[in-house]
Structure 1
Amino acid sequence: MALKHYNPTSPARRGLVLVDKSSLWKGKPVKALTEGKHKTGGRNNKGHVTSRGIAGGHKQKYRYIDFKRRKWDVEGTVERIEYDPNRTAFIALVKYPDEELAYILAPQRLGVGDKVIAAKKTDVKPGNAMELGQMPVGTIVHNVEMKPMKGGQIARSAGTYVQVVGRDKGMVMVRLNSGEQRYIRSDCMATVGAVSNPDNQNQNFGKAGRSRWMGIRPLTRGVAKNPVDHPHGGGEGRTSGGRHPVTPWGKPTKGARTRHNKSTDKMIIRSRHAKKKG
């Protein structure tokens, strides 16, 4: 997918850069694979705002995506590539010989009419899914499971991928985009290729309203508030807010470690923070 640059016919158009979606399906999604989606406005069941910066946005339908890819040894045909408002990646509609339809994450270089298959071991082609233990070393994959039969959890966002770097005692060593290297069980599924829409990160929305269409509200900086409203607030003139950045409730932010589940630490070979310590 290429990027579209617009002429500055208005202040909002000046600098506007979007992903060209002209080759995507222009109709509605498959009704049987969608469900209505209700917006929360960032509020909980008591009506209190628990997630700031969320409200409004265009009406959306949720598309059911097959993250498990457990329809083994049945070859499907890609009917079309679609836009999905719920994720940064594009999705592909796959039709199987028994007329079953399913949405999968569309990898790069997957086109309409291509054949995809999921099996214990199969060809290394974009869109094909197989067990990590059967992948050749060096393969680029996405939608990687962390537990067998749980469905893909790693590398599902636009342009992301994971690389298989080795095998060891029934485990597969993979390198993530963050630089982390970790073990994953060899019977976990993964899909060949990198996720589609790598240019998603190069978009420039050009105006605040386009973010509002996506359900994102503006957030006021802490240093622009009063001391009663934020720990960074107050002060004479323009102040930076203090030595350690914190949330409005006083908890450290911007780099503070928030990881508490240490049960999977034994699976990490090289931390994503290792390069920062050097």
Structure 2
Amino acid sequence: MALKSYKPTSPARRGLILVDKSGLWKGKPVKKLVEGKRKTGGRNNKGHVTSRGIAGGHKQKYRLVDFKRRKFDVSATVERIEYDPNRTAFIALIKYDDGELSYIIAPQRLAVGDTVISGEKVDVKPGNAMKLSQMPIGTIIHNVEMKPGKGGQIARSAGAYVQIVGRDRGMVIVRLNSGEQRYIRSDCMGTVGAVSNPDNSNQNFGKAGRTRWKGRRPLTRGVAKNPVDHPHGGGEGRTSGGRHPVTPWGKPTKGARTRKNKQTDKMIIRSRHAKKKR
């Protein structure tokens, strides 16, 4: 979908650029595919702030999206494309031939009336789901599983995709958007196509209030604080905050590596940091 700009009738409207959602469903979601969603405001059970920067936001309902796509060999028709406040991508309501309704992540070029199917041997077209072993090399896919039956975990955000680049030792080699190449078991599921709403990252919300509607509070930079409030605080005039960026509690941040899962190092062929090391 295209981006939409507005006439500068106010300072907030002057820079406002949003994704055009005129082609989406304008009604409410399917009631049986929706759950209630509570907001914590970043507070724990004692009322103390444990996650700063969270508060307010518009009331939301959680849509139950099928990330597993394990209903094999039953074709489904796309009833409508909907907005989902819980994710950057759009979702599609599909109706199986047996009458069951389900939500899936909508890929690009999927339209109302299209047919999608999940199975062992299905056509390689947007919205169809199959095991990675059945996909030809070079296929663009999204909603990729890392463990068989767990459901898609990789490439679910707006505009995201991974590409199958090879096969080896009964595994499939995929290249992620970050540049990382890794092995994934060939019996994991994936969905053909790139995720919808690729222009999501090009939006300009125009004013602070629109971010507050999303439930995010403003955060003050550490260098703008006093030494008692932040390790970057204090100093004469404008200072950059020191050599190593840290959080208010002294832990490294802004690029500091936090990955601890050494058990799956053997699955990574090329790290996303490979270019940075040279």
User: The TM-score by the shorter chain falls in which range?
Assistant: over 0.9
Q: Whole-Å Cα distance in 2 between the matches of residues 182 and 90 of structure 1?
A: 27
Equivalent residue number for residue 184 of structure 2: 184
What residue number does 2:243 align with?
Answer: 243
Aligned residues: 278
The amino acid across from 1:124 in the alignment is V
User: In 1, distance between residues paired with 2:159 and 2:124?
Assistant: 18
- Corresponding position of 1:36: 36
Which residue matches 1:72?
72
Q: Does 1:166 align with 2:166?
A: yes
Structure 1 runs of 4+ aligned residues shifted over 3 Å read none
Residue-by-residue CA offset, 1:146-194 (whole Å, 9 max, x unaligned): 0000000000000000000011121000000000000000000000000
Give distance in 1, aligned partners of 2:79 and 2:238. Answer: 57
1:95-110 alignment, distance < 5 Å? 95-110=95-110
Match in the other structure for 1:111: 111
Cα distance per residue 1:88-120 (max 9 Å; x no partner): 000000001111000000000000000000002
Q: Secondary structure, in 3 states, of the residue corresponding to 1:49? A: coil
Residue of structure 2 equivalent to 1:154: 154
For residues 112 and 248 of structure 1, what CA distance do their matches in structure 2 show?
49
- Matched AA of 1:122: V
Map 1:112-261 onto structure 2 (within 5 A). Answer: 112-261=112-261
**What displacement does 1:121 show?**
2.2
Aligned to 1:274: 274
Whole-Å separation in 1 of the counterparts to 2:44 and 2:166: 45
**Distance between the aligned counterparts of 1:77 and 1:230, measured in 2?**
55
Q: Secondary structure at the match of 1:13?
A: helix
1:129 maps to amino acid: A
Q: Give me the whole-angstrom Cα distance separating, in 2, the residues matched to 1:44 and 1:140.
A: 41
**Displacement, 1:46?**
2.4
- Once the 2 structures are TM-superposed, how far is the Cα of residue 45 of structure 1 from its aligned partner? 2.1
Cα shift at 1:42: 1.1
Higher deviation after alignment, 40-49 or 127-136: 40-49
Q: Hey, what does 1:81 align to over in structure 2?
A: 81
Could you list the runs of 5+ residues in structure 2 that have no partner in the other structure? none
Give the alignment of 1:20-35 within 5 angstroms.
20-35=20-35
Q: Match for 1:104: what amino acid? A: I
What amino acid does structure 2 have at the position aligned with 1:139?
Answer: T
- Compute the displacement of 1:145 (Å): 0.0
User: Which range moves more in the overlay, 124-133 or 40-49?
Assistant: 40-49
% identity of equivalent residues: 86
1: distance between equivalents of 2:47 and 2:146?
A: 35
Name stretches of at least 5 consecutive residues in structure 1 with no aligned partner. none
Q: Which amino acid aligns with 1:114?
A: D
SS at match of 2:32: helix
Whole-Å separation in 2 of the counterparts to 1:166 and 1:239: 49
Tell me the distance in 2 between the aligned counterparts of 1:250 and 1:156: 32
Q: RMSD between aligned alpha carbons?
A: 0.7
**TM-score, normalisation: structure 2:** 0.99
For residues 142 and 85 of structure 2, what CA distance do their matches in structure 1 show?
Answer: 20
1:65 & 1:215 partners in 2: Cα distance? 22
One-letter code aligned to 1:16: L
Between the aligned partners of 1:89 and 1:215, the Cα distance in structure 2 is: 18
